[in-house]
Chains A and B, each alone.
Chain A
């Protein structure tokens, strides 16, 4: 059995129909930058969509861009930069998060959408799922369908775009992806505030978000990492707040915040480099560690951080005002179990194994196991698109 290289949705349709007929399973892939994310599919063949590439239509003044699923991220970002626009959800480079041989893989827009990956601006601007306006796809039934459109405001029919984001290719193979774009900010600066402990850092950030000074992103680094990144403020933790906009506004707002919290500021290019490294989790990813991400209510973040033993040898950092926690450890099964236990107590959020250096994903499920009624509904949703389990079967959860 050989792999399929698709150049169009017609090819995808053929491949899926053939797989259905033969009782085979397919693993959908682009450049492979995220192949370490999720469970092993144990598919019979790969369905490579990286040749379905290119920008189909881009109208900057309409704020919409339509792309083929396999379009490489460098190409997407270059086109946006030419028009001084951006994908506001600040997609990270999963290759850099994955590290090792994958570091140089830039990934594709289809992969970003399938994994619903968003960066620091997600806190205020929303996630990939907030910017996917529409798509075409072949379902696991081998049927072509579309949803959404190429306009910003649309409530016609179910919003299947939301479902596609973060479905890890388990429902359908997308193409003709239409995203909302936004003007890139003219400038940005960051404020660095020294904090005595992690909880104090989340409080400082909450105070800043209770002002009308429009903070756009907020991360927290422990002193060891802050020192490595050359932003050590002397505090046990450093809260980093990014402000964006037109120059006069950014200067004015950062001065107002500084008067309130103290701290120092950094400007471009240091600020930009720092946030790119935070986006791609570089302070942790550069070590040979497993990586876990926890999505939680920002005010719950201190409890998760405090639950760690120093014996676990864990390095961590926070983004999204504490709502996104990254943990790195060399053997991480115990860490994963600990994080999942705390998340369960909090009854909100999830812990996901994002990078696996030590074959941990054979020992612990990368996706947080679902409670029975939700698992049942996930199975039914999966079956409504892919009843035979042809597409990325088991990538997220066993049986889905």
Chain B
């Protein structure tokens, strides 16, 4: 992965830069020893490591603003970092950039039940929001699998999803307001406790912008009343086609489950070995379907879904009879990644989305690619919304195998786009999928996105090298193509 060429002149000024930063934040908030900076040299995409120029850990929003303003004035690049759980390298440091860590922003400012929201600092973990309100029957819906560690500020930057976003949406659908600091050091508020933006939805554009437009310094999150009950079905199929069709049948019947997960044979067996969840080992595909809501409703819908699945040719159907059993059904799915880690020294986790009806085509494509590359693939899907997580198994100690796995992964993502889908459903582009962006987008599509970047950060100082395969200078992007006042087709009558 090629990152922008580090600026040696900036690296040479490192001591001066750290001295200047220590005037803006308490001295201990600037970390510059190699040893201490090791903790920040990678995020969840740990194949890529890089020590930053320096790490700054501010304690107040004014300090964030001061650091950013100084970096802007001195043309120093800046990489924001929440908990560092990004799976796409969104928080990967750069050798000539200051790493801005938000770890000290770990306080919840306000719990507001009248308006059903929580105002929190960006470093608060996703799960801590739910913990803060669960005694009163509320919870925060987006539940990325890293929710115990990932921060809500990072969730905004990545527009994080989770297994329940089929029914409850992604971060963007559960966010009411953000306070951000721009690269120029300006503190701005978008949204609040009210519902609509009224002007340009800048909160919407911040969400999922992968730290390229501004640093999130506060969030206002919508909380929901916890559903009265939840029950799950564990359903085996002899072939993946029928399982895929069954998922569509449930939705076509007007039922939106809280979650609808699918696993293929390899994933089922790896998970069963690991978790002993009682998964049907002989099944070619397994569905876990969860329904939540009022008890009467869940009981009625479970019956309807069961009937649909039997008609669709399910080879086995189990319905959870207790909370304990429901959790057991999930235990295998939730341990799918570590379980696959046990059957292979290394694996790559991919994240594309396809229109759900293309699932059978995608399964066949993956089987043929698996043969072509001589690598196994285990599949875990958020089947309800077509979000795939193929796990490509390989051994990094065998020369060339990592590269083969990466090529295999790129082919899967290309197939996703070919089938009408997209490169990433929830993990983000980061550095991982940056160079594949041209598969999904034209040059003009990407230029328009980068012009928006210029509106927020004309100097390209904030998180450079992420998301976009080519960096264009803003002046170049700003040019408007006019043929010296001539109209495109001068012979045609106009206006």
Contact = CB atoms under 8 A, between A and B. Distances in A.
B249 to A, nearest CB: 8
B367 interface: no
A18 B490 CA distance: 9
Interface stretch (A91-99, A227-235, A270-278, A379-387): A379-387
A45 interface: yes
B386 interface: yes
Nearest to B114: A299
A20 B479 CA distance: 13
B386 A152 contact: yes
Nearest to B478: A387
A212 B115 contact: no
Given A129-B201, A212-B226, A151 B495 contact: no
A163 B200 CA distance: 6
B8 interface: no
A22 interface: yes
B72 interface: no
Nearest to B245: A61
B161 interface: yes
A150 B354 CA distance: 9
Contact of B202 (A211, A249, A377): A377
B353 A154 contact: yes
A182 interface: yes
B200 A167 contact: yes
Interface stretch (B186-194, B272-280, B397-405): B186-194
Contacts of B422: 149, 151, 154, 156
Given A151-B355, A183-B254, A249-B296, A162 B204 contact: yes
B427 interface: yes
Contacts of B85: none
Interface residues of B, number: 104
B205 A158 contact: yes
A307 B225 CA distance: 32
B291 to A, nearest CB: 11
A207 to B, nearest CB: 10
Interface stretch (B39-47, B315-323, B337-345, B444-452): B444-452
A153 B385 contact: yes
Given A44-B495, A61-B252, A156-B423, A166 B159 contact: no
A166 B488 CA distance: 31
Interface in A128-183: 129-130, 139, 141-147, 149-163, 165-167, 182-183
A184 B254 contact: yes
B333 interface: no
Given A142-B481, A149-B420, A384-B448, 11 more contacts: A153-B170, A163-B200, A163-B201, A183-B255, A186-B254, A206-B113, A212-B137, A249-B293, A296-B194, A297-B194, A385-B451
Interface of A: 1-2, 4, 14, 17-18, 20-22, 24, 44-45, 59-64, 84, 116, 118, 122-123, 126-127, 129-130, 139, 141-147, 149-163, 165-167, 182-184, 186, 202-203, 206, 209-214, 245-246, 248-249, 252-253, 295-300, 320, 323-324, 347-350, 352, 367-368, 370, 373-374, 377-378, 380-381, 383-385, 387-388, 396-397
26 contacts: A14-B488, A21-B482, A22-B485, A44-B495, A45-B495, A61-B251, A61-B252, A116-B197, A118-B196, A153-B170, A154-B424, A155-B158, A161-B204, A162-B207, A163-B201, A166-B199, A206-B114, A212-B137, A249-B293, A295-B195, A349-B192, A350-B198, A374-B199, A374-B202, A380-B456, A384-B448
9 closest A-B pairs (Cβ-Cβ)? A162-B204, A297-B193, A249-B297, A183-B254, A380-B455, A350-B198, A384-B451, A348-B192, A61-B252
